[in-house]
Structure 1
Amino acid sequence: MTAMASAIVPESTSSPSSPRPVITLSKPKKKRPAVKNVKAIRAIRSLFRSFPILTPTCRFHATLPRCSRAADGHIKGATRATGTLFGKRKSRITLAIQENPRGVPILLLELAIPTGKFMQEMGSDHLRVALECEKAADKTKLLEEPLWTAFINGRKIGYGVKREPSETDLEIMQLLYTVSTGAGVLPDNMTDAVEGETTYMRAYFDRVVGSKDSETLYMMNPDGNSGPELSIFFVRV
């Protein structure tokens, strides 16, 4: 984490009367109508949040792809996306993917690992997050799948659940829309006495679509090859 440039977010007072940021994020141009059973998905999310955070010993055995970078650090054929990992230190971390920093996230995925623990994992040279789901008969787009099995460096950590952005999620994205790359702590009014401070890590990612059943996000490190690497794989099997 030390290799990444720290970004400064304007401080705000912890007073309850502190004004909330005005949400000016734009919605994605195209949004497919929901075809899933909303009640069933909500039930899964509620059940997921009731589970304790465990560290299973199962291993992810699939061979994950590698992509070579060009001299400028970009992957040929990839598109750029903005990725943000955030959450209160003792609560589950959330991954937000935006097509551009001023847009509403196209994906919000809550992972079964505490934010503080995930940030510690970022201390390794290369962190691989693999998200796996099963193929179904319908034609759901890959990033619209509601439930994933999550692995970090081959170790199963539990599940990842897709959710719609809450008002707090949008406020966080609004606060960070001027931040291209960085890590830090959000203002005091987003701190919880029990769960701790809201921390974040934000960076540009190269988004590589392998097929309708596979997609990968490669973090673009502003320090070249001197900092930690983060790869996020979405695979439908």
Structure 2
Amino acid sequence: MMRQHEQIVASLPRNSSCKSSSKIIPASFTRSTSNADAFHHKALVRRPAAALHQTRSGVSTFLRSLISIFTFPSFLPACRWLHIPTHLSVTPSLGRKVTGTLFGHRRGHVSFAVQDDPRSEPVLLIELALSTSTLVKEMSSGLVRIALECEKPPPAPRGGRAAASRLFAEPAWTMYCNGRKCGYAAARAWTESDRHVLRTVQSVSVGAGVIPVVDDGRKGSAAEGELLYMRARFERVVGSRDSEAFYMLNPDGNGGPELSIFLLRI
């Protein structure tokens, strides 16, 4: 079929006009030069200079009146709703690497604080359902996985809008340590004792030790023993708006204890 098509194309006679450089003019085309000659010989009518000056002055007057109406002093008071209040505080977004500090009295509950950098205020402070001495024992095993779970808010009514809340704003959590349910953890505001701890260790990037005890007025705080801390860099992984994880990083890469903390809203 292709060979037959090539034979048909080869048998078609070529017109000599294909090789000519002259233009092809249709037979129905009639050239008329009367209109063109009349156009060239027709004198151009120019607008008088006085009329042109009046037009320009009218445009400039209009522009000046328009600018006087929309000057900024008279325009801004009418749009006060565009003003952005300066008292609004926006929570800074966390990066991929954060500073995590586990601290607490030896016989008291351990707290977990998350900071964007070692000198900033904590964006998350949770009191875990685990004593500091128990956490030390779990860390000696080389692997600690802490899961904090909370329930999702009820769905919005039909036609309504569900209340969006940040994962860090959840007040209460069910805690599991290495697969065992330990009790309930709670997010809390940081106290003067927490401020003292974080200020004391703000120059420490990675390490553990003992901090002098400061009595913050809590009942029985003096009888809870010395205050221990462990501080490290954590890798923060966001799965969704309902799940985040913090993986402790070993700076030397020597295969030290592994610690992972998961926040889950299910």
TM category, shorter: 0.5 to 0.7
- Residues 1:123 and 2:183 aligned together: no
Question: Are 2:215 and 2:222, in contact at CA under 8 Å, matched by a contact in 1?
Answer: no
Aligned equivalent of 1:132: 149
Q: RMSD of the TM alignment (CA)?
A: 1.9
> Counterparts in 2 of 1:197-212, with a 5 A limit?
197-212=226-241
TM-score, normalised by the number of residues in structure 1? 0.66
Which one-letter code corresponds to 1:149 in the other structure?
T
Question: Are 1:190 and 1:198, in contact at CA under 8 Å, matched by a contact in 2?
Answer: no
- Residue of structure 2 aligned with 1:227, choices 256, 259, 262: 256
Aligned equivalent of 1:162: 187
Aligned equivalent of 1:86: 103
Which one-letter code corresponds to 1:235 in the other structure?
L
> Counterparts in 2 of 1:69-80, with a 5 A limit?
79-80=96-97
Aligned equivalent of 2:32: none
CA shift for structure 1 position 223: 2.6
Question: Are 1:190 and 1:197, in contact at CA under 8 Å, matched by a contact in 2?
Answer: no
Unaligned runs of 5+ in 1: 1-28, 33-77
- Residues 1:184 and 2:209 aligned together: yes
How many residues of Structure 1 are paired with residues of Structure 2 in the alignment? 164
Higher Cα radius of gyration: 2
CA shift for structure 1 position 188: 5.0
CA shift for structure 1 position 144: 1.2
Question: Are 2:193 and 2:214, in contact at CA under 8 Å, matched by a contact in 1?
Answer: no
CA shift for structure 1 position 193: 4.4
- Residue of structure 2 aligned with 1:102, choices 113, 119, 123: 119
Question: Are 1:188 and 1:197, in contact at CA under 8 Å, matched by a contact in 2?
Answer: yes
Aligned equivalent of 2:244: 215
Within 1, Cα distance between the matches of 2:120 and 2:195? 10
Within 2, Cα distance between the matches of 1:98 and 1:209? 16
Q: Secondary structure at the match of 2:135?
A: helix
Within 2, Cα distance between the matches of 1:210 and 1:221? 22
Cα distance per residue 1:49-96 (max 9 Å; x no partner):
xxxxxxxxxxxxxxxxxxxxxxxxxxxxx7000000000000111000
Question: Are 1:214 and 1:233, in contact at CA under 8 Å, matched by a contact in 2?
Answer: yes
Within 2, Cα distance between the matches of 1:220 and 1:187? 26
Question: Are 2:103 and 2:132, in contact at CA under 8 Å, matched by a contact in 1?
Answer: yes
Cα distance per residue 1:169-219 (max 9 Å; x no partner):
111111111000001101255696411000000000000001000000000
TM-score, normalised by the number of residues in structure 2? 0.59
Question: Greater helix share, 1 or 2?
Answer: 2
Determine which structure has greater relative contact order: mean sequence separation of CA pairs < 8 Å that are 6+ residues apart, divided by chain length: 1
